[in-house]
Chain A
């Protein structure tokens, strides 16, 4: 169990990542806010706690790797890489413009710290599998973390990769399903119902860990447990809220890839500031008690 200071640090970082998302979104630019924000806590826990990652050397062969199979949510990875200093902070404002290096989907050519090209959905688990097999072949102790969407689980290739990873007894992958229940055009259940996700992964030979994907303590525990699984791959199914932290975007498919008006931008900023105030006072209380 992680200590209070660690949890508090990661909670502050997750909130900071949401501030960064806001800066990347700006006003009038479409951006995949919903599925980025739902992963803020998870990504904070990965880059700032669980992963072996030296921001001074983002190409270190001895690093753990994180890639997003749901590549459209790369904004949250950019945010973490900015906080780590891998991507210059001034890039945030230039996201998705010709002047910037932050592309609409992960692009290894243009953006430091990006581990793979994804964006056409369903491919990231396979890429992660290849990395994991290669690292194992070389006897490297590193792990590969791969974020997937619940809507993305409609892609057949995910299940091809799930079969192969279990068949090869790959235990240096941690899959993370951002189970936010909403996809581009509506609730996942209504688009194509895909029930019993946990049972499915389990039936495919994976160790399954189900958690609240906004609870830092649970995330850290699950990441730690997943590391200890041997002889089979592990997947964390993280129950999350799409658009988390932005009241108008929560559970709202319109902000899968939404645009901020001036008014919404200001509202989002004041909501995040209020969350920061609340977080600081709670943290102060926790320290006192």
Chain B
């Protein structure tokens, strides 16, 4: 399938493609189908699409029932609602029996920049990551989204996938094979490791460019599988560097940064800094770049964090 630059559009198109091949796929929506793009599935497979109305808790537990009779349900809402409002239903009815339900947390992070605090998810990864049996994925672009979703048919247990609302640059090498747990190296370097997921991968590449101008060599790694963390791969990927910066569009409490630090425990490693949302809620903005900049989620901020760790002057 040809990736669309917009991640949520790609998500919807890919879901339709997968459902053509696999009749067990069903989709459930909580009245945000035009945003999550599950509407594309509704148009293609109306009989396998369940509009559950504004009732996320019922949607999640209904998906459990569908999985228990052999379906592969994909449930949809904004990240903040599906992870927050339906938490106990995901925990009890889906994660405990480890059912094959796919949870699309759409408009993740600040990508719903206009709607403000209530609609911006700064904590969904932390919540979903804490659930036993749950896998947590955060693709960096539409190419990776397609490859990742193709893996969701056979992957065991529940999966939470974080989908961005925006157009994001194509970064994943199109011909490279993908598997869940893969750590993709997008740029090689020897001084610093810049680790990231989602939109922050492109910002980390920008940071690597800034660092190069200062004579600092940075490698950039995409950690789109936040859970299960590929611990061995991660430890190997940061060998030899003098600083590690983990960047995420999420609270620095409990997100990718936390997952990386947990994975690096008990092994010697370079000092780590986290670039993310500093334990606060978001706000309304007129565009995505503007809000990312306001919260310090930028290439220069990542480069600055790396320089601080290396004790190199920023100026």
Contacts and interface: CB of A to CB of B under 8 A. Distances in A.
B65 interface: yes
Interface string B41-84: 00000011010110101101111111111110100000000000
A164 B71 contact: no
9 contacts: A124-B61, A127-B93, A130-B73, A131-B68, A134-B71, A144-B65, A160-B53, A163-B53, A168-B50
B57 A160 contact: yes
Contact of A157 (B48, B57, B65, B73): B57
Contacts of A161: 58, 61-62
Contacts, number: 106
* 7 nearest A-B residue pairs (beta carbon): A130-B65, A126-B61, A134-B69, A160-B58, A160-B55, A130-B62, A131-B65
A7 interface: no
B69 A163 contact: no
B62 A126 contact: yes
A133 B92 CA distance: 20
A117 interface: yes
Interface of A is mostly: helix
B69 A135 contact: yes
B88 to A, nearest CB: 5
A264 B62 CA distance: 41
Interface of B is mostly: helix
Interface residues of A, number: 33
Nearest to B64: A127
Chain B interface size band reads 20 to 34
Interface of A: 61, 107-109, 115-120, 123-124, 126-135, 137-138, 144, 156-157, 160-161, 163-164, 167-168
Given A129-B62, A160-B58, A161-B58, A107 B96 contact: yes
B97 interface: yes
Q: Pick the most buried of A123, A138, A167: most chain B CB atoms within 10 A of its CB.
A: A123
Given A131-B65, A134-B69, A126 B97 contact: no
